[in-house]
Amino acid sequence: MAPKAAATKGTIIPYEGLPPGWEAIEKPYLSGIYAGTTYIRFQTKDLRHKSVGSLKKAIQIDAEERGLDPAQAKAEYEQRKEEEKERQKQERESKGLLDGQRKNEAIEFFRSAHGKLDGATICQLPGWRGESKLLEKCGQLSARYYSPEGVTYALVNQVEAFFGFKMQKGEPVPDFE
């Protein structure tokens, strides 16, 4: 194994979506402004292909070598990537971490029923806690709120959006009175 490790000059890391027989190598920049940080390259385990710069290119090379359509292989990869992105978005939404118009609608839905929420009220909710700290460089106070499930919310309006989203779905929320 030592010759293989020497050939990689980096650390083999797990990487989602790699074709069979390929591995991801994390390598350090040795000089320049990025010295000390790392980058990722891809290679075949038998070292026929080394220092491939992107996962898409590795997929293309693998498809060509196996006699498959590289365009179709890349399209399937893109579809898997989009599905994962959608899954992550749904996971965020399930935590009430909404974006854009959906966030604004959830906040308004919450406020129309309960009014504007404040940090002290959030900290009094069952299972919720809050932390604040002074940011020395700018003199501002930074607050964080933690749900009973362990989700971190940096802003009061994120908590309002969380409860508003639950209300829109007909789920119960704590009594804010």
Residue 171 has pLDDT above 70, yes or no: yes
The string over 126-158, giving b where at least 16 C-beta atoms fall within 10 Å of a residue's C-beta and e elsewhere, is: eebebeeeeeeeeeeeeeebbbeeebebeebbb
Residue 59's pLDDT band (cuts 50, 70, 90)? very high
**Residue 122 neighbours by CB under 8 Å, 6+ apart:** 128, 130, 145, 156, 159
Task: Write the burial class of residue 21 (CB in 10 Å: 0-12 exposed, 13-18 middle, 19+ buried).
Answer: middle
Which residues partner with 147 through β-bridges?
Answer: none
Q: Alpha-carbon distance 74 to 94, whole Å?
A: 30
CA 40 – CA 15 distance, rounded (Å):
10
The pLDDT assigned to 8 comes to 53
* 174 band by pLDDT with thresholds 50, 70 and 90: confident
Q: Rounded mean pLDDT of 86-115?
A: 88
The predicted-structure confidence for 17-31, as pLDDT tens digits, reads as follows: 899 999 999 999 999
Percent of the chain's residues with pLDDT above 90: 68
